[in-house]
Structure formats: structure tokens, C-alpha cells
Amino acid sequence: MLRLVIDTSTSSVSLGILSDEGWLECIDEKDIPQQQSKVLFNLIQKLFEPLGIEKKEITEIAIGQGPGSYTGLRMGMTVAKVWSFAQKIPLYTFSSAELLKKTKQKEPTAEYPQVKYLELSDYKLIEAVNDLEPIYENDHFAKKETETTK
């Protein structure tokens, strides 16, 4: 198993590669508010290069589901959902708030969640990519058709 783990819930991006043997590599890019869309793919490449991993070798993806920055969550969630769907690989979610709590237990001065502190018990398998709930119930993506829009 090679699981790509992504958290974009804050103004930072935290990425990691988790194998059956444990964490292979993690990257934390701090203080990039509203820039996740510009740096996420480059950071993924930066994560893969020292390990000699290619994108097609990823067998699972896990994504932080918030709470957090609207733009950041949308970016990370979109990358994870599309990659999972396109490659037909399992998608997992985890609580970004719980991750931040674990990070602060390990590093009390930390301001951002860091994926390296996740454990396998923290992940929840999404049976189908379309089973993911909208990030915000009332956002324009989640609005259901009403009588006036029919």
C-alpha cells in the first residue's frame, strides 16, 4: 500500500506518503493562504521525487475533511476525489481538527495540522467517491433543486 495523505484545511499544506511499513516522507508547506491551488501539484511532485515514486504507484488517498479554510478544503478535496475516481483507488477521509489536536500534543507550539501524526485508526473509508458530503451544507454546490428552480 502507498497512501497519499493530504491536508489543506489551513493556510498550510501537509502531505505524506504512508506505506505498510510507516511514513516514507512528509512535507509541510506553511503560510500559503489561498495559494493551495498554485502549489499543491508541485508539492506532490516534490514529495514523490526523493522516493522515486510515480503517481500511478499510489494505491490509496486520504484527505482532511475539515473544518477549515473553504478554498483550501475545496482544492484538496477536488484533487483527492478526481485522483481516486480516475485511478479507481480507495479514498479515505480524516478529521483535520483531530489531526491538529494530535499535532499540538506532539508539538505544543504548532499552528498547523501535520499528517505525520495520523494513525491508521484515524481514517474513514469512503465507499464511493460520490458518498462524500458537501463541505458546507448551504454552499452553492450543495443546494438542492427547489420548486422555484425547477
The structural domains of the chain, ordered by start, are 2-131 (3.30.420.40)
CA–CA distances in Å: residue 144 to residues 20, 73, 97, 134, 140: 41, 21, 28, 11, 9
In the chain, the percentage of residues whose pLDDT exceeds 90 is: 50
Residue 143: predicted pLDDT? 45
User: In the predicted model, what is the mean pLDDT of residues 124-130?
Assistant: 71
User: Rounded distance, CA 77 to CA 51, Å?
Assistant: 24
Question: Which 8-state DSSP code applies to residue 128?
Answer: S
Residue 128: predicted pLDDT? 60
* In contact, 117 and 102? CB cutoff 8 Å: yes
Residue 34: predicted pLDDT? 63
pLDDT in tens, 8-25: 988 889 999 999 999 999
Strands 60-64, 22-29: pairing kind: unpaired
